[in-house]
Chains A and B, each alone.
Chain A
Amino acid sequence: MSVLDRDSAALLAQSVAIYAGRPAGSPEDHLAALHEQGWLAAALPEASGGMGFGVDAAAIIAGGLARGQIGEPFTATFLAARVLGLAAPGSDSAKALADAGVLSALAFDEAGAAPVLANADGVLTGTKRRVAGAEAAARLIVTATRDTQPVLVELDATAPGVDARHARRIDGGALTEISFDGAKGTIIASGDIVPQALRQALAETGLVIAAELLAHCDSLRELTLEHLRTRRQFGQSLGGFQALQHKAVDMYLGALLSRSVLDHAITKAAEDLSADDLDRLAFRARARLNDTAMQHVRLSMQLLGAFGTTDESPLGPHIKRVVRLCGWLGTSAQYRARYAALGRVATRNQDRKVTT
């Protein structure tokens, strides 16, 4: 995994911004463009036909696309690509993604459903829930258990025995529940590498989601500030009212803090961290970004007045996406609970231990 230098990062950001600034085309055109740019498979190792880029590049791409409200299917694909890159770089799905932009969706979450079991031939039974990006994906990457071994299985999304039920999300995508009833797949990885890859990919995708959230915060804040500058009441612009100024500053402050937290987390994530420490960084960054994004939703709606509650204001698409992202892979409270389970560290090495 390579880390972008400052210039390459700026170049990448620029080309994403140019692309995201163009009028949106059809989903098919969008997908083709993402593939052509190499962004879809950027996270795959070079040996699998990807770019070997890390979470820093993915964050830039996701953030840039989010500005144009076209974050899908990049982030969901990053999750699948990262698991493939870490656990099964030679799989057909990895090749198809790199060569032809054939999308894979990762099904890992069971959320109380019947666990997915695999037999030695890769035949699956059981149910996965909350799958992201499954509507557009031709391939499914599924975590399963074979005997007591964790395995990773790939299969066609339309294979016999696959039943996908899509529930419409507010941002236009779907949360998909997929039942496998004797569906035939191929085992592409087995053993400890599967949960390890999944854990790392989830942490990194958390950071990529955080980058998307930050971009939405920026858009929401800019729209709000523009409104405060131009809307007049009581013979003056709204921006002249101190109560509103301080609310706007709180948005600014939240975003500044969030950017700093995310930048540090992304920089650190490229270092050789233990799985626990990567999780700690990702959980903390996600909690911060979730909270800041909801703050931006709350305040931008309030400060735009009635218009802010409508489906016609430019806030709408950003708000819908934020609501989606804030619950994806974990809410703030869930991330804090996971962090508590890992163990808090901030005071661990404090010499000046407080005693009671």
Chain B
Amino acid sequence: MTDTHPSSGSNPDPDTDWNALPEAEFRAHLRRFIDENCPQHLRYVRRRLPPADTLPWYHALAAAGLIAPGWPRIHGGMELSPGRHLVFIEEMDAAGTPWLHDSGVRNLGLAIIAHGTDAQKQRYLPAIHAGDQIWCQGYSEPGAGSDLASLRCAGEIDGDRLTINGQKIWTTSGQHANHMFMLLRTERGTTAHRGITFALVDMATPGITVRPIYNLNDEADFCEVFFDDVTISTDCILGQPHDGWNVARSVLGFERIWAGSPRRARHALGELEAIVAQSGLSGDAVWQDRLVQAEFDTLDAQDLYRTFAELITSDGQVGTEVSALKIFSTETFQRISEWTLEAAGAEGALATDLDSDARSAQPLYTFFESRAPTIFSGTNEIHRNILARRALGLGREDKA
């Protein structure tokens, strides 16, 4: 497989400075590329397709140096500024390109670049870039959700072997991934954040069982994953043993701003507009007002996103205030999806046709879909807790 498509470093011109290109040109380049390389049957698909279907498109992106917008150029990335990154996402969304199982690119890659040994960089980065390795994220457990540091999935280090026993849950793409990056409890009795190890696991290792879980939209987007005496080499530990919490935290930068991107709200706005028209409500003053409210909230979220995109430093770090963006964007998405469902009336209860063109409005689908972003990437309640403590300094008086 590896020799049928180019791999990492094959960016035709690694010196391309995508940020310096005028925005219109950048957009035009992407549009042309998508037109020529992303087949029609992959466009505007509502379901998340399995990697087997989307890999040719993944490979085309990789070959053109477009697969890793956030990575440094020396690793075959585009090194896009956050603002440009949004443009990139907008163009991909607008053209209906399919969701990719690219957690390796989006989440793991930067952690390896920051914490990996040279051998690990060699081993993983080109394979991620080429699409040979599909990664999933194994953090959450049945007993460890918001309180992630209480995780118990055990890793026992014995010489150069690491043996894993326990369970992960809500693992996105778990059934499709051939690798998992995960957090393990390798020391007990220390403070919660110590004693956690960040491990890189080949899912083909004996002892791993994966069970898909279906959501209310009847999609198996996430899984539970069981580990029964799964033994790997300690070469697979990223960063120092027992220091995995810091490794995991260090890659949250862009993830945190990305989680607050208003792209979902924007799409929901188009859907609201369509359903209001379809339901014959366009002339109704109440719905006119809601449409403007929805537009204001979406544009305001976009302004806030830009503010943070301008603030984010080149190493991807942003302040705690960015939690505000995540809260507002995800709650806007929910509000709009609720209005859309209401505008649809009795038809709102129609079961979603998952095979329909994703451009056709599916109020119920969006309503359910919009429930998740207030939960993942830190629930909104947890983000409010963080802001209260760190941005407003509340709740500390009694501990001083």
Give A contacts to B, CB under 8 Å: 225, 228-229, 236-237, 239-240, 242, 244-246, 248-250, 252-253, 256-257, 260-261, 263-264, 284, 287-288, 333, 336-337, 339-340, 344-347, 350-356
Q: Is the CB of B384 within 8 A of A249?
A: yes
Q: Is the CB of B397 within 8 A of A257?
A: no
Q: Is the CB of A356 within 8 A of B278?
A: yes
Interface segment, B100-108, B208-216, B303-311?
A: B303-311
Q: B360 contacts which chain A residues (CB < 8 A)?
A: 354-356
Q: Is B85 an interface residue (CB 8 A)?
A: no
0/1 per residue, B270-282, Cβ < 8 Å to A? 1101110110000
Given A263-B307, A288-B296, A356-B274, are A336 and B289 also a contact pair (CB < 8 Å)? yes
Bound-complex Cα distance A100 to B395 (A):
53
Q: B328 contacts which chain A residues (CB < 8 A)?
A: 253, 257
Given A347-B273, A354-B271, are A261 and B303 also a contact pair (CB < 8 Å)? yes
CB proximity to A under 8 Å, residues B262-319? 266-267, 269-271, 273-275, 277-278, 288-289, 291-293, 295-296, 298-301, 303-304, 306-307
Q: Is the CB of A240 within 8 A of B289?
A: no
Top 3 A-B residue pairs of the complex, sorted by shortest distance between their CB atoms: A245-B388, A239-B394, A354-B270
Q: Is the CB of A239 within 8 A of B395?
A: yes
Q: Is B13 an interface residue (CB 8 A)?
A: no
Q: Is the CB of A252 within 8 A of B277?
A: no
Q: Is the CB of B388 within 8 A of A353?
A: no
Q: A350 contacts which chain B residues (CB < 8 A)?
A: 94, 266, 270
20 extra interchain contacts, Cβ-Cβ under 8 A, other than A352-B93, A352-B267, A355-B360? A236-B397, A239-B395, A245-B385, A248-B392, A249-B384, A249-B391, A252-B324, A252-B391, A256-B321, A257-B303, A260-B300, A260-B304, A264-B303, A339-B295, A340-B289, A345-B295, A352-B94, A354-B273, A354-B361, A356-B275
Closest B residue to A236 using CB positions: B398
Q: Is the CB of B398 within 8 A of A253?
A: no
Give the distance to chain A from B182, nearest Cβ to Cβ, in Å: 31
Q: Is the CB of B269 within 8 A of A237?
A: no
Bound-complex Cα distance A246 to B387 (A):
9
Q: Is the CB of B306 within 8 A of A353?
A: no
Bound-complex Cα distance A246 to B395 (A):
11
Closest B residue to A255 using CB positions: B324
Bound-complex Cα distance A249 to B392 (A):
8
Bound-complex Cα distance A345 to B306 (A):
18
Given A229-B394, A340-B291, A346-B298, are A352 and B388 also a contact pair (CB < 8 Å)? no
Q: Is the CB of A253 within 8 A of B289?
A: no
Q: Is chain A's interface secondary structure helix, strand, loop, or mixed overall? A: helix
Q: Is chain B's interface secondary structure helix, strand, loop, or mixed overall? A: helix
Bound-complex Cα distance A346 to B294 (A):
10
Q: B321 contacts which chain A residues (CB < 8 A)?
A: 256
Bound-complex Cα distance A354 to B393 (A):
44
Give the distance to chain B from A289, nearest Cβ to Cβ, in Å: 11
Bound-complex Cα distance A242 to B386 (A):
11
- List 28 A–B pairs whose Cβ atoms lie within 8 Å, in order of A's numbering: A225-B392, A225-B393, A239-B388, A239-B396, A240-B395, A242-B388, A244-B394, A245-B389, A248-B392, A249-B391, A249-B392, A250-B384, A252-B391, A253-B324, A253-B387, A261-B304, A333-B289, A336-B292, A339-B296, A340-B291, A344-B295, A345-B295, A346-B266, A350-B94, A351-B95, A352-B95, A355-B357, A356-B361
Q: A261 contacts which chain B residues (CB < 8 A)?
A: 300, 303-304
Q: B298 contacts which chain A residues (CB < 8 A)?
A: 346
Q: A257 contacts which chain B residues (CB < 8 A)?
A: 300-301, 303-304, 324, 328
Q: Is the CB of A287 within 8 A of B96?
A: no
Q: Is B23 an interface residue (CB 8 A)?
A: no
Closest A residue to B273 using CB positions: A347
Q: Is the CB of B359 within 8 A of A228?
A: no
Closest B residue to A281 using CB positions: B299
Give the distance to chain B from A243, nearest Cβ to Cβ, in Å: 11
Bound-complex Cα distance A333 to B290 (A):
10
Give the distance to chain A from B97, nearest Cβ to Cβ, in Å: 10
Closest B residue to A238 using CB positions: B394
For chain B, give the interface size range: 35 or more
Q: B218 contacts which chain A residues (CB < 8 A)?
A: none
Q: A253 contacts which chain B residues (CB < 8 A)?
A: 324, 327-328, 387
Q: B235 contacts which chain A residues (CB < 8 A)?
A: none
Q: Is the CB of A352 within 8 A of B96?
A: yes
Closest A residue to B292 using CB positions: A336
Q: A264 contacts which chain B residues (CB < 8 A)?
A: 303, 306-307
Quick one: which of B292, B293, B393, B397 has the most chain A CB within 10 A? Answer: B292
Q: B44 contacts which chain A residues (CB < 8 A)?
A: 352
Closest B residue to A229 using CB positions: B397
Bound-complex Cα distance A345 to B266 (A):
12
Q: Is the CB of A351 within 8 A of B395?
A: no
Q: Is the CB of B359 within 8 A of A237?
A: no
Q: Is the CB of A346 within 8 A of B269?
A: yes
Q: Is B381 an interface residue (CB 8 A)?
A: yes
Bound-complex Cα distance A355 to B274 (A):
6
Q: Is the CB of A352 within 8 A of B359?
A: yes
Give the distance to chain A from B313, nearest Cβ to Cβ, in Å: 18
Q: Is the CB of B388 within 8 A of A344?
A: no
Give the distance to chain B from A160, nearest Cβ to Cβ, in Å: 45
Closest A residue to B396 using CB positions: A239
Bound-complex Cα distance A103 to B388 (A):
45
Give the distance to chain B from A253, nearest Cβ to Cβ, in Å: 5
Q: A250 contacts which chain B residues (CB < 8 A)?
A: 384
Q: Is the CB of B274 within 8 A of A354?
A: yes
Q: A352 contacts which chain B residues (CB < 8 A)?
A: 44, 93-96, 267, 270, 359
Bound-complex Cα distance A256 to B321 (A):
9
Bound-complex Cα distance A257 to B180 (A):
37
Bound-complex Cα distance A225 to B391 (A):
11
Q: A354 contacts which chain B residues (CB < 8 A)?
A: 267, 270-271, 273-274, 359-361
Quick one: which of A228, A240, A284, A352 has the most chain B CB within 10 A? Answer: A352
Q: Is the CB of A260 within 8 A of B269?
A: no
Give the distance to chain B from A204, nearest Cβ to Cβ, in Å: 18
Q: Is the CB of B398 within 8 A of A240?
A: yes
Give the distance to chain A from B387, nearest Cβ to Cβ, in Å: 5
Bound-complex Cα distance A230 to B243 (A):
38
Given A253-B328, A346-B266, A352-B94, are A246 and B388 also a contact pair (CB < 8 Å)? yes
Q: A229 contacts which chain B residues (CB < 8 A)?
A: 393-394, 397
Given A229-B397, A253-B324, A356-B360, are A344 and B270 also a contact pair (CB < 8 Å)? no
Q: A287 contacts which chain B residues (CB < 8 A)?
A: 296
Closest A residue to B397 using CB positions: A237
Give the distance to chain A from B370, nearest Cβ to Cβ, in Å: 15
